[in-house]
Structure 1
Amino acid sequence: MFTMRLLPLLVIAVYGYSLCLAADDPVQIFLSHIDNATANLWAQLETDNDHVFLRNDLESFIHSYDTDNNSHVTMGEFFTHFLKDDPDLGSVAYGLFQEFDVDQNGTIDTKDLDTVYARIDMNGDMRVDEAEFKQYFKSLLTILYLLHIQGIPDPGPIE
C-alpha cells in the first residue's frame, strides 16, 4: 500500500530534473519529469487495478500522516512525514499542505479531503479516472516545483 512517505520521493524525482545539464529543451525535460512523477503517483495510489481513484483511496493516502490517530493531520505531522526523505523541500511540503487544508484551519480533516477529492474529480462523477488524477497532480506539482525553484522561502520549522 502506498504511504504519503513516498510522496517526497516523487517530488525529489521531479526536483532532480533541475540538476540535469542535457542539451535537450529544458521545458520538455521538465514536462517529461512531471509526466513520469504523476504516472508513478497514480501507479502507487491505484493499487487495486480498477483504474479508479476513489474518495477512500484519498483517505488512506493521507491517513499515514495522522501519527496521533485523531482524524486530523496537523502541519507538524505533515512536515514530519513529508520531509523525512528530503528536508530541502519545505516550500513544496508547505504548498501541498495549504492545498489540502482547504478551510485553512491548520489541519487536514475529512471535510478538507471531500473538497480536495471534488477538485480532482473534474467531471463530478465521484470517480477519479487516471486522466483526471494526472491532470490535477501535474498542475499542482508543476506550480509547487516552480515556486520551489524560484526560491520561495521555506516556512521554517513547524511545531
Structure 2
Amino acid sequence: MISLCLVLFFTGTLAAPTTHTQSPLQHFKSIVRRQVTALWPTVDTDGDGHFEVNDMHHILGDYDADHDQKVSEQEFIARFAHNEPDLNVIAQGLFFEFDMNRDGFITVSDLDLYYQKIDTNDNGHVEKEEFVHYFTEIFTILYVIQLNQTTTPSSAAAPGGR
C-alpha cells in the first residue's frame, strides 16, 4: 500500500518543474499529497470515507514473512524496499513510526496505537483528510532524510567542521 505510493512519486513525478509561487519543498509536498490522495481508495476498501483500524492490520499479513504475528525491522525493510533499494532509509523511518513501543517489532498492538496517532481528531475514524495530511508530512520528512543520506559525502568532514 504505502510502498506503492512512494515508488509512484519517486520514479519520475519529481521531474515536473516548480512554479514561481512554490518553494521546492512546497512543490514536493504537493506531489506527495497528490500521490497519497490517489492512494486513499486502496485503503478505504469499503468506500465509507474512513480508514478503519482493521485496515492497519493488513501490514502484518503483507510484511510478516515468517508468519510469527510480528514484523521485524528486517522483514519490513525487505518487503517495503524490495524493488527500490534506494527506499531503505524511508522504510527504516516508517518502521520506527509503526513500532510504537520500540521493541523492534510491529505487532497488532503497535498498529492499533499508530492508528490512534493518525486519528488526529480522536473520533475513532481516520478520514481522508487526516490520512492524506499525516502521510504527506511523514513521507516528506522521510524523503528529506533519505536525500540527506544519499547526498552527504561519505568522507568525513574537514577538521573544524564546515
Letter of the 1:115 counterpart:
L
**Number of matched pairs:** 148
> Quick check: 1:52–1:129 contact (8 Å CA) kept in 2?
yes
Q: Show the counterpart of 1:55.
A: 53
Structure 1: tracts of 5 or more residues without a match: 154-159
TM-score, L = length of structure 1: 0.83
Counterpart mapping for 1:9-158 below 5 A = 9-16=4-11, 20=15, 22=17, 24=19, 25=22, 26-151=24-149
Q: Cα gap change, 1:66/1:104 in structure 2, threshold over 3 Å: closer, same or farther? A: same
TM-score, L = length of structure 2: 0.81
Q: Show the counterpart of 1:157.
A: none
* Higher relative contact order (CA closer than 8 Å, sequence separation 6+): 1
Secondary structure, aligned partner of 1:70: coil
Deviates more, 1:56-65 or 1:107-116: 56-65
Percentage of identical aligned residues: 34
Structure 2: tracts of 5 or more residues without a match: 152-162
- Answer with 1 or 2: which has the greater Rg: 2
RMSD, aligned α-carbons: 2.1
Cα displacement (A) at 1:152:
6.3
Secondary structure, aligned partner of 2:45: coil
